[in-house]
């Protein structure tokens, strides 16, 4: 087994890695454009970006669903395209669209997971579903979108994988269901010492659950920092405001909630008390970074994330 | 494994119920017609169309005319009733030949195609570390269940065939040979495997059904063509009187020159024969030539079925291997 894994090792320090990953679809559509990324072990990382940024493509590359056109991806150092079983052994995946079997009950899905994956732990999975008041005997067709997402998450968590890849699982959920989903995810990941990557457009959810932020735009990595650092190192002011802080750098200008133009500034953390600027929210950091990625160069078109 | 089988049966319950009901209905209808034919108890003397020799062509006269007048009347009455049920049986067996093809397409396309269409492939392919294991388990188990269900109508078709021609052993006769017995099951499994591969490639059920139907018809035509060519290599010359259209495959009728032993075609013999009343002299022909037929004897039916089964089995393995290749390399959506 060691001989099989060894040639696939890229680095081995991060849970998930991408090295110069590019993905081009037929017709020249470019979804990823030379992404370099390390997801540290133990982090809960938010993958954020507009539609077409390449989030889903990157996640699917990690689970072995998309083969990069160039570059390489790795799961704990294992290339999923060279040693898919070993890579998948370490991954729990929740897809964008709940993909449960029509006509099977929740309990059937738990049994299915047990039959497909050695080491799947049905006990905690059933308990978790029970705590969420999801009846095991219920046909999954009759479950709400939130319940279906919870079943998908429970099945993924039951694998006791080392890293969870969640591709916009919150997209169709109401606020309460999103909150419950994230609560279950964070609890389980922290308890197992696992790693998680979560793509989402809902910034408040990310702020609540994640400790690291990766922003993608046009198939490129725009930002990759801990969330606390992302907030502390940025300030916001109106487009006309000029900071007094030496070394402050404008990042990007974007529309505010009332139509005003706001500018995101990158400031040194120790010089964060500039009176012309206020603290940035996570959403403003992301909007400013995305605006910056669009203005100087035209981003390439990608597949919908 | 028990859980896997239970979940497969539950996942494909619509297909399995539909196929099982159709097979039960077909088997029931075949057994019903068998009982009708058996109840007529056509006496041996009346079964003059059971073994039509090549020399007699398609004549429906007994080799030895029935002399008993009461038996003649009885024969006529029973023969009409028998013929009526026999014709219904022929129609039913034709439908029976289509059943495995339709069943194979219905469930074959769903095995991978539906998983891709509904998105469940992404769930299964991340839960299961090995797509190979996932694919082979379901493809082989569903195929085995389908084959088991199709055994019933293929078996009852053989029974019905025997009732239609009571004097002939169906195991030694090519009559209706392609629409009964194990070949029927194998044709169902062939279309099943075509459906599996097409579903895996296309990833959408409805287009896959249409494509599979077209491919299956082409495959069956190609198979029948190949079998016919191969069967001709088994053919041997026999006295025409000993060959039967109802049992053997008669490929050719000619004459053997008694002096040289050479086979001569009918036209040459008729040209060489003296003309009597505007036609060739039959007595002269009989004196110089033996009427012979190139036939695959019914006794080879078992051999042919074994080879056909093996050939389709090999094709099945190739197709399932192709499906495996597609499943391993394709995206789940």
Looking at the fold, whether A205 and A285 belong to one and the same domain comes out as no
Listed residue (B229, B226, B225, B220) closest to B251, CA to CA: B229
- Top residue of B6, B114, B122, B330 to mutate, by most chain A CBs within 10 Å, is B122
- Residues A208, A238 within the same domain: no
Residue among A63, A86, A115 minimizing CB distance to B126: A63
Whose structure tokens read 């016919």? Answer: B228
Burial of B36 per CB tally in 10 Å (0-12, 13-18, 19+): middle
Residues A77, A139 within the same domain: yes
Burial of B58 (0-12, 13-18, 19+ CB in 10 A): exposed
Last residue of one domain, picked from the residues A191, A223, A255: A223
- Asked whether residue A216 falls in the same domain as residue A259, the answer is no
Q: Is residue A19 in some structural domain?
A: yes
CB-side exposure of A285: number of CA atoms within 13 Å? 29
With beta carbons less than 8 A apart as the criterion, state whether B206 and B116 touch: no
Identify whether the C-beta of residue A97 lies closer than 8 Å to the C-beta of residue B119: yes
Q: Assess whether A46 and A100 both reside in one domain.
A: yes
Query: Number of folded domains in chain A?
Result: 2
Residue A24 lies in domain: 2-223
Confidence class of residue A285 from pLDDT cuts 50, 70 and 90?
confident
Other CB atoms within a 10 A radius of the CB of residue A28 amount to: 8
Looking at A195, A223, A251, which one is the last position of a domain?
A223
pLDDT digits over A110-128, tens only? 999 999 998 898 888 888 8
Answer yes or no: do A126 and A256 share one domain.
no
pLDDT of residue B70: 63
Q: Are A146 and A174 in contact (CB under 8 A)?
A: yes
Q: Is A112 within 8 Å of B7 when comparing Cβ atoms? A: yes
Question: Which distant-in-sequence residues (6+ apart) come within 8 Å of A103 by Cβ?
Answer: A139, A141, B10, B11, B13
Minimal CA–CA distance to A241: which of A260, A222, A268? A260
What's the pLDDT tens digit per position in A179-224?
Answer: 888 888 898 888 888 899 999 888 888 888 898 999 888 888 888 9
Whether A263 and A120 share a structural domain? no
Contact B240, B291 (CB under 8 A): yes
**Residues A250, A138 share a domain:** no
In this structure, are A71 and A174 located in the same domain? yes
Among the residues of chain B, which ranges form H helices? Answer: 2-11, 13-40, 69-109, 115-118, 120-127, 131-164, 182-202, 205-232, 266-272, 282-288, 301-329
> Which residues from chain A sit within 8 angstroms of residue B134, using beta carbons?
116
- Residue A145 belongs to a domain with what CATH number? 3.40.50.300
Outline where B12-119 has alpha helix (H). 13-40, 69-109, 115-118
Is the same domain home to A135 and A255?
Answer: no
* Residue pair A73/A34 in contact by the 8 Å Cβ criterion: no
**Domain identity same for A120 and A217:** yes
Helix (H) or strand (E) holding A3: helix A2-5
Contact B51, B247 (CB under 8 A): yes
Residue A228 domain flag: no
**Interhelix angle for A106-116 vs A145-158, to 10°?**
30
Together in a domain, A212 and A193: yes
Inside any domain, residue A156: yes
How far the first Cα of chain A sits from its last, in Å, is 34
**Does A91 contact B at CB distance below 8 Å?**
yes
Look at residue A302 and tell me if it is in a domain.
no
Q: For residue A34, what are the CA distances in angstroms to A24, A62, B196?
A: 11, 15, 37
In the numeric block, the tokens 């099989």 are attached to: A4
Contact B126 A92 (CB under 8 A): yes
A120 touching chain B per CB within 8 A: yes
Q: pLDDT in tens for each of the 333 residues of chain B?
A: 888 999 999 999 999 999 999 999 999 999 999 998 888 877 666 665 545 555 555 434 444 555 566 666 667 777 788 888 888 999 999 999 999 999 999 999 999 999 999 999 999 999 988 899 999 999 999 999 999 999 999 999 999 988 888 878 888 888 888 888 899 999 999 999 999 999 999 999 999 999 999 999 999 999 989 988 888 888 888 888 777 777 888 888 888 888 888 888 888 888 888 888 878 888 888 888 888 888 888 888 888 899 999 999 999 999 999 999 999 999 887
CA A100, CA A110: separation in Å to the nearest integer?
11
Shortest CA distance from A97: residue in chain B: B119
Instruction: Answer whether residue A274 shows pLDDT above 80.
Output: no
Interface of B with A (CB under 8 A): 3-4, 7, 10-11, 13, 118-131, 134, 331-333
């Amino acid at each position: 087994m060691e001989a099989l894994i060894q040639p696939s090792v890229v680095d081995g320090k991060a849970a998930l890695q991408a090295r110069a990953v590019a993905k081009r679809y037929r017709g020249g559509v470019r979804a990823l454009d030379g992404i370099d990324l390390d997801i540290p072990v133990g982090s809960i990382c938010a993958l954020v970006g507009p539609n077409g940024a390449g989030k889903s493509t990157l996640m699917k590359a990690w689970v072995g669903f998309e083969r990069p056109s160039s570059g390489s991806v790795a799961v704990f150092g294992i290339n999923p395209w060279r040693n898919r079983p070993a890579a998948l052994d370490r991954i729990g995946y929740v897809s964008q669209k709940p993909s449960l079997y029509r006509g099977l009950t929740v309990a059937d899905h738990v049994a299915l997971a047990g039959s497909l994956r050695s080491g799947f732990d049905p006990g905690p999975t059933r308990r978790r579903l029970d705590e969420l008041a999801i009846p095991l005997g219920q046909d999954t067709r009759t479950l709400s979108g939130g319940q279906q997402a919870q079943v998908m998450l429970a099945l993924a968590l039951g694998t006791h994988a080392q890293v969870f890849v969640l591709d916009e699982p919150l997209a169709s959920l109401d606020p309460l269901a999103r909150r419950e989903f994230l609560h279950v995810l964070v609890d389980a990941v922290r308890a197992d010492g696992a790693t998680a990557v979560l793509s989402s457009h809902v910034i408040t959810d990310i702020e609540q659950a994640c400790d690291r932020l990766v922003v993608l735009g046009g198939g490129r990595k725009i930002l990759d920092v801990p969330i606390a650092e992302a907030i502390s190192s940025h300030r916001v002011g109106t487009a006309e405001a000029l900071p007094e802080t030496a070394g402050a750098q404008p990042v990007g200008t974007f529309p505010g909630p009332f139509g005003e133009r706001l500018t995101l500034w990158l400031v040194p953390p120790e010089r964060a008390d500039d009176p012309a600027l206020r603290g940035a929210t996570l959403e403003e950091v992301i909007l400013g970074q995305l605006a910056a990625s669009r203005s100087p160069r035209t981003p390439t078109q990608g597949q919908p994330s | 494994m028990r859980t896997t089988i239970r979940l497969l049966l539950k996942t494909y319950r619509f297909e399995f119920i539909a196929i099982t009901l159709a097979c039960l209905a077909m088997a029931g209808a075949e057994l019903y017609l068998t009982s009708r034919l058996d109840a007529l108890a056509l006496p041996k003397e009346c079964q003059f169309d059971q073994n039509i020799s090549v020399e007699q062509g398609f004549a429906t006269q007994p080799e030895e005319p029935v002399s008993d007048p009461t038996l003649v009347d009885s024969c006529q009455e029973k023969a009409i009733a028998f013929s009526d049920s026999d014709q219904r049986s022929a129609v039913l067996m034709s439908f029976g030949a289509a059943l495995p093809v339709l069943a194979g397409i219905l469930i074959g396309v769903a095995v991978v195609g539906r998983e891709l269409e509904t998105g469940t492939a992404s769930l299964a392919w991340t839960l299961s570390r090995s797509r190979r294991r996932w694919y082979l388990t379901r493809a082989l188990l569903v195929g085995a269940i389908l084959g088991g269900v199709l055994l019933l109508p293929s078996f009852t078709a053989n029974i019905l065939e025997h009732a239609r021609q009571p004097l002939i052993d169906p195991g030694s006769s090519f009559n209706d040979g392609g629409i009964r017995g194990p070949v029927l099951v194998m044709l169902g499994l062939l279309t099943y495997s075509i459906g599996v591969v097409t579903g895996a490639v296309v990833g959408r059920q409805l287009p896959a059904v249409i494509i599979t139907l077209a491919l299956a018809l082409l495959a069956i035509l190609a198979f029948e063509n190949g079998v016919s060519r191969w069967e001709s290599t088994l053919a041997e010359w026999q006295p025409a009187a000993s060959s039967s259209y109802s049992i053997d495959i008669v490929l050719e009728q000619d004459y053997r020159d008694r002096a040289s032993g050479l086979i001569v075609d009918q036209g040459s013999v008729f040209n060489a024969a003296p003309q009597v009343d505007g036609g060739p002299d039959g007595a002269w022909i009989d004196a110089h030539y033996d009427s012979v037929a190139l036939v695959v004897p019914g006794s080879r039916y078992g051999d042919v079925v074994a080879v056909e089964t093996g050939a389709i089995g090999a094709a099945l393995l190739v197709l399932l291997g192709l499906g495996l290749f597609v499943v391993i390399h394709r995206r789940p959506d």
